[in-house]
Amino acid sequence: MKLSLIPLIDVCGINDFVYSSRIEGTIGEIFDFYFQLVDLDKNLGQHGYNPPGLRYVPGDGSLLTAEVWNVNKEKRFTRVAMNPFPSDTSIFKVSFLSTDPLDATVNFKIVLLDAVTTPATQRICYSQGALALRNG
């Protein structure tokens, strides 16, 4: 399994969103970063799937954290990602505050403690440039 994420925009519900290559925002504003977990070993692009990957649903009791990596290592921080829609737990949301130390390009290290297996399995993926911010 190759865990990855796809940023989502215009999120209104489990069947009402748009896939994106990145989310854009403004430094100093409050906003939510939505994404869907996918397994890139399934539904491959070479077979016509766009975007590639099959949505991945972690098991009940799983925990997903997003380590926010800025260029400045001293500004890195971690947030717990939440499931905004209990009926589709492949979709997650990370909320950002106006006081968060964000730079122009934000990278993520996503750490999933997946309770679908016993014992729970840690799965990690990285996302570079999924969040692009401009100065306010």
Give 25-59 pLDDT, tens digit per residue: 888 899 999 999 999 999 887 888 888 889 999 98
Residue 30: the pLDDT is 92
Listed residue (97, 93, 95) closest to 29, CA to CA: 97
> 75 falls in which pLDDT band (50, 70, 90)?
confident
Dist CA 97 CA 41 (whole Å) = 34
- CA 124, chain centre distance (Å): 11
Tell me the per-residue pLDDT of 12-25, one tens digit each, with 9 for 90 and over. Answer: 999 999 999 889 88
Do 110 and 54 form a contact (C-beta atoms < 8 A)? Answer: no
pLDDT at 105: 80
pLDDT higher than 80, residue 136: no
Supply the pLDDT for residue 33. 94
Could you give the CA distance from residue 18 to residue 101 in angstroms, rounded to a whole number? 27
pLDDT value for 103:
79
CA distance 64 to 113: 6
Q: How far apart are CA 2 and CA 60, in angstroms?
A: 20
Supply the CATH classification number for the domain 3-134: 2.60.40
Q: Domain segments of the chain: what residues?
A: 3-134
What is the rounded distance in angstroms from the CA atom of residue 35 to the CA atom of residue 21? 10
CA distance 36 to 68: 17
| 81 contacts 92 by C-beta, under 8 angstroms | yes
Distance, CA of 19 to CA of 6 (rounded, Å): 7
